[in-house]
A and B are shown apart, each in its own frame.
Chain A
């Protein structure tokens, strides 16, 4: 059981002033899986990722990252990396300085970083490196590119990306999908992403979990019908509202 799962979630809940925003009894993610978290605003996706990174304190329960309880020890940090939002960037650095800073923290040499960056030339689309611009002056999309690539530095075993597709142009979205697929196929890295884009997330993730109001309502391995199922699930309320002829809901509500 120990090495079967990279991430184990046990009786995890988070409340703010008595209001529960997340309650996950059990969620185990095997090593090497590309895992997608889907849900409407306020479903608890970012809360879950923040708990995973020990940025907020769980009300009950715990998350175990490679046998380490994240809220009790910091030993998960060397093999875990994340890009959640712009607060993971240092605005007054240039892209290169930022990459080297992260590399220093993760004990990666400059040459290794340069090699890694070379493989992302396409992804950067000549808008990031050697631009003599501070990160704070880059567009939101380009900032995101920097943050995502920085999270790949140092061969982390667990990569957490919150809404990686948002703000990216279509070309970059397609390139990012390719990159994530490659990472996942290597079976060394566990990738966790959250997204509002059902198409992208079903495309890159082997498994998809749907959160609604902090509770897991769907947990499925991706196949050809997953996208349809998800669209049906998220569209169900609209259909109810426009009062279509009575319809059998049992299929959608089955978890």
Chain B
């Protein structure tokens, strides 16, 4: 069993999936997007030293660059956490045939080296290094500096998987980051200078490069050990006994015809690992505002504040709604052969999203601390969420035919961030919508006009609720066979 054999399996899995065959337009957009980023990275790499030289003439531009690179590292970490796909491989067939586990795991981990997120930094740092040498910086130092940053990129790569898979590591990283940001923010200790010195040290005192290179090794091993420990199928080795959680849901009967679906949806959320995760995540969205409201730069950019305000109340709405009807993918055939009305089915999901939005809004009351202006903005954002965003999200969900394994939590071999280009495209109006609706009246008239416009957009959405539901319903009806076929395909 050679590594090339694994690669050919992976390639077959990729090229033979129905998703690959269907999403041609999306694929082209994705490739264009990738080319754009590649071009941008390379251009930045060439230009940045010259640019910094012009901007801050009395300082060595290379020193300036190193001082800023900590922000790049943090951004990279953040982006990867939300966007980078984790290595997925169907291990079951490999468990009982004579292939060394170490081989499978090494392959899995090495595969991630080819990720777009690892190639991008090379495209950026390579031209930077070229420019450095061209500008007669020390050749050996520049190359070691380049290798160090490559290592940092791989560190982030492997750290990201641990963050995604183990709660302990996630909280550890978050705590460390919080402490560092706190030290910097409250001017206790200039952390960014420290990192600036360290990064510059890769160039001056070459042996410092051992730190990132060693860290790559440590993180690789940590991943290796983690996966080795989890090289079992859940439940296949140890049979888990699950006690039934009974809830009295009769209070939902007041919703009449909707109650059938509502009860089912509530049970679905409470009894399955994946939707529970979504609920947890949406709780974190509540704190989104802390990033924006505490930064002075955003105070003059109310459009960004409008965007943040939308996110505070929209966590559940977005993360749950974008996977409707995927939540029911496991038994979609049943749903499609039963006498159900799409309208009631959708309305039940919509109601859940709205209720979650209202709860989030109530929980966001402490934001009054940042002033009534902010709080009113959150209220306007909630209105936008309930009235417009809910329908946009449901519409996107209908196009997003990804089967979900309800009771699979983030495991070593499952894909937690089911991120795909369709989701990205459909999320554009969600993100840009509130910014534009707020910004135009704000620019033309004043702040309050922006608020009123944002709030009114939600009310307008509610007025046309039936119309919007009909549109989504139409997508369901038109895409019925496609959806059934997609959900039928096991991941």
Contact = CB atoms under 8 A, between A and B. Distances in A.
A101 B406 contact: no
Contacts of A78: 339
A82 B330 CA distance: 16
A134 B334 contact: no
A90 B334 contact: yes
A94 interface: yes
A94 B260 CA distance: 15
A105 B333 contact: no
A94 B337 contact: no
Contact of A136 (B333, B407, B484, B488): B407
A13 to B, nearest CB: 16
Interface string A66-80: 000000001001101
Interface residues of B, number: 28
A87 interface: yes
Contacts of B271: 92, 134
Interface of B is mostly: helix
B345 to A, nearest CB: 10
Interface of A: 53-57, 74, 77-78, 80-82, 84-85, 87-94, 97, 101-102, 104-106, 132-134, 136-137
Contacts of A87: 330-334, 488
Contact of B334 (A54, A89, A104, A136): A89
A77 B337 contact: yes
A153 to B, nearest CB: 11
A106 B341 CA distance: 12
Interface string B257-278: 0001001100110011000000
Given A84-B333, A91-B406, A92-B268, A105 B340 contact: yes
Contacts of A77: 337-339
A78 B331 CA distance: 18
B244 A94 contact: yes
B342 to A, nearest CB: 10
Given A53-B337, A106-B339, 5 more contacts: A56-B481, A77-B337, A93-B264, A132-B243, A136-B407
Contacts of A88: 331, 333-334, 337
Contacts of A104: 260
B256 to A, nearest CB: 11
Interface of B: 241-244, 246, 260, 263-264, 267-268, 271-272, 330-334, 336-340, 406-407, 481, 484-485, 488
Given A82-B337, A101-B264, A105-B260, A133 B332 contact: no
Contacts, number: 75
A90 B331 contact: yes
What are the nearest 10 A-B pairs in CB distance?
A77-B339, A104-B260, A92-B271, A88-B334, A132-B244, A53-B337, A87-B333, A105-B338, A78-B339, A90-B331
Contacts of A132: 243-244, 246
Contacts of A57: 481
Contacts of B246: 132
Given A92-B267, A133-B244, A56 B260 contact: no
Contacts of B330: 87, 90-91
Chain A CB count within 10 A is highest, among B246, B338, B481, for: B338
B339 A101 contact: no
A105 B339 contact: yes
Contacts of A85: 333
A208 B337 CA distance: 25
Contacts of A134: 242, 244, 271
B272 A92 contact: yes
B402 to A, nearest CB: 16
Contacts of A91: 330-331, 406-407
B240 to A, nearest CB: 9
Nearest to A92: B271
B461 to A, nearest CB: 28
The winner among B241, B264, B481 for most chain A CB atoms within 10 A is B264
A71 to B, nearest CB: 9
27 contacts: A53-B333, A53-B336, A54-B336, A55-B337, A74-B339, A87-B330, A87-B334, A88-B331, A88-B334, A88-B337, A90-B331, A91-B330, A91-B331, A91-B406, A92-B271, A92-B406, A92-B407, A93-B264, A94-B244, A97-B267, A102-B338, A105-B260, A105-B339, A105-B340, A106-B339, A136-B407, A137-B241
Interface hub of B242, B260, B330, B331 (most chain A Cβ within 10 A): B331
Contacts of B334: 87-90
Nearest to A79: B339
Given A92-B406, A93-B267, A55 B333 contact: yes
